[in-house]
Amino acid sequence: MIDIKLIRDNEDLVKENIKKKFQDEKLPLVDEVKKLDEEARKMQVEGDTLKADKNKLSKEIGTLMRDGKKDEADKVKEEIAKMNEKIAKIDEELPEMQNKIKDIMMKIPQIMDESVPIGKDDSENVEVERFGDPVVPKYEIPHHADIILNVGGMDKEAAGRTSGEGFYFLLGDIARLHEAMIAYARDFMIDAGFTYAIPPFMIHSDVVTGVMSFPEMEAMMYKIENEDLYLIGTSEHSMIGKFKGQIIKDEELPIHMTSYSPCFRKEGGSHGLEERGLYRVHQFEKQEMIVICEPEDSMEWYEKMWKLTVDLFRNMDVPVRQLECCSGDLADLKVKSCDVEAWSPRQQKYFEVGSCSTLGDAQARRLGIRKKGENGTYYLHTLNNTVVATPRGLIAVLENNYNEDGSINIPKVLQPYMGGKEKIMPIK
């Protein structure tokens, strides 16, 4: 959510930002909220003036009564009664108008960073850099579901009986490799200086609307029936929500934390679920990182964060690239975002395994995350980035470490978490 002052003082900037995101249907919202804001401020001034005048007149009544001027005192009382009616009306209408302004403001996109490439959708995202050589072996790489089934590592049929489509059982060494990746990612981030956390896996609706837009919430979140609780789609939601309504002390900054959680997503719409494999499912596990910092430090942290994900995947022998998200692919709360994509030797193309974003003060403004400065309190900046999400990250490791005989090399950094095991062998 942007600062209302931007609309008051620079509505052209706000409108140009909307155009660059190819959301022209939102342009009337700027004019609407500007008009409502002017009316609300006039109403606020009128209410404050009436209350001040009423206090002055109230003091006069006692003086008039002492001086025996009862008729004049009664007239003042009548005038105060009329004032009370006006004040009551303003006190009723003003919060409604302010809530309407807030609702509209939450639909207006955050101002993007100037470096964001302009494009209509994800097809116009821009490759920035590659890390590691994308290799295509001379032998065929099977679909990841077949790789896993060949080593006895998955049962989606049984998961269908227990939970329905979009769920899975991981078994044996594949389940162990999955957890090894999460454990390694945890230790990798702790070694990088991040504080480890396991957050709540359910959050209140006011936290949900604080960290994401309403359309995103409707598309992603599972609601707990008859409770003001949602299952998290990523631990970023809980971790940023942890600081809701807080004034952060200078010595606490920057806050940099890494968190583990299961994640739950509807995965509806055009993407749909993957029937055979594990690429798009309702439930997965993730190691996440979040940062809360001074506004002037957010871009430096952004660069540090996505590079950590690159380093992690390169340590697991997976070639990756960084892909800059264009304006049309940028979620409304984000200032700048990029994806880290892993090489798929089977498809001979890259696929997303992580996403890094700086949201400026959008989440902080919605949730009230501030710091006291010399000129009063101000909103801090928030960032988030995927360390590793499995089983999507698992797919990348399997494909890039698959051997012609059906065995799977376990990356050296993961072997300590697998009891020293170096390979997963196919079932005979």
Q: What is the pLDDT, as a whole number, of residue 73?
A: 84
Q: Verify that 86 and 144 share a domain, yes or no.
A: no
pLDDT at 59: 80
Domain closes at, from 42, 70, 105:
105
Enclosing domain of residue 86: 4-105
pLDDT of residue 256: 98
Rounded Cα distance, 389 and 211, in Å:
19
pTM of the model: 0.89
- Residues 6 or more apart whose CB falls under 8 angstroms from that of 171 comprise 152, 153, 154, 155
pLDDT, position 271: 58
Q: Quick one: 189 and 134 in the same domain?
A: yes
Domain count for the chain: 2
Residue 332: count of CB within 10 angstroms of its CB = 22
Is beta strand 283-293 parallel, antiparallel or unpaired with respect to 202-203?
unpaired
Q: Does residue 221 form part of some domain?
A: yes
| pLDDT value at residue 373 | 86
Mark whether 289 and 365 lie in a shared domain.
yes
Residues 259 and 388 grouped into a single domain: yes
**Domain of 371: which CATH number?**
3.30.930.10
Dihedral class, residue 267 (left if φ above 0, else alpha if ψ from -120 to 50, else beta): left
Q: What count of Cα atoms within 13 Å lies in the side-chain half-sphere of residue 84?
A: 8
Instruction: Please check whether residues 101 and 127 belong to one and the same domain.
Output: no
Per DSSP, 354 falls in state E
Q: Are residues 260 and 295 in the same domain?
A: yes
Among 54, 74, 105, residue at a domain's last position: 105
Domain assignment of residue 115, yes or no: no
Which CATH number covers residue 88? 1.10.287.40
pLDDT value of residue 66:
79
Query: How far is Cα of residue 109 from the mean position of the Cα atoms in its chain?
Result: 14
Indicate if 93 and 169 belong to the same structural domain. no
Compute the distance between CA of residue 193 and CA of residue 72 in angstroms, rounded to an integer. 74
Block mean pLDDT (10 aa), the chain, length 428: 92 96 96 95 94 87 80 85 92 94 93 96 96 95 96 95 94 97 98 98 94 79 94 96 96 97 80 76 96 97 98 97 97 96 97 96 96 91 97 96 97 98 93
Q: Are 130 and 81 contained in the same domain?
A: no
Residue 272 pLDDT: 58
111 domain residue, yes or no? no
H or E segment and range at residue 102: helix 70-105
CA 136-140-144 angle, to 5 degrees, is 95
Structure tokens at 359: 């949201």
CA distance 393 to 400: 11
- Same domain? For 272 and 415 the reply is yes
- Only one residue has tokens 């821009």, namely 126
Q: CA 218 to CA 268: how far, in whole Å?
A: 10
Please check whether residue 410 lies inside any domain of the structure.
Answer: yes
